[in-house]
Amino acid sequence: MSQSFGTFCLICFLLTITPGADTALILKSADGRNWNGYFSTTLGICAGLICYATLSALGLSAIFVKSAQLFSVVKAIGAGYLIYLGIKNLLVAHSIIGLPVGDDTELNLKNRSRYSDFREGLLTNISNQSY
């Protein structure tokens, strides 16, 4: 009994310290940029947490438990958005690698608006919640 409890605690610890989508998004937004992208993305993630906490407090989680179809729709939308972000980031990475050295055509990562960083943080956090 104590061995299975120890294994459970180890797995919980590893899952807790493993970085998730929010961490990867913050690292991506802060990479090679000033604090604006990092701060806007972090605010979006926090807003997503507030939305999730508010909806949970209002009983949305209870509705999802009762309606498997609604829960499946929300999961599919979240998975679709995460797939979209993954493909978009792979295409961005591919085009960065393909740029010649010294070329002035960057991917406009420094020119991204604060709103787009905020929106990406918000949508990533909301779609990545496990109800």
pTM comes to 0.55
The distance of Cα 118 from the centroid of its chain, to the nearest Å, equals 11
**What is the pLDDT tens value at each position of the chain, 131 positions in all?**
567 888 888 887 887 777 777 777 777 776 666 677 788 888 988 898 888 788 777 787 777 778 888 888 888 888 888 888 888 878 776 666 555 444 444 445 556 677 888 888 888 887 776 54
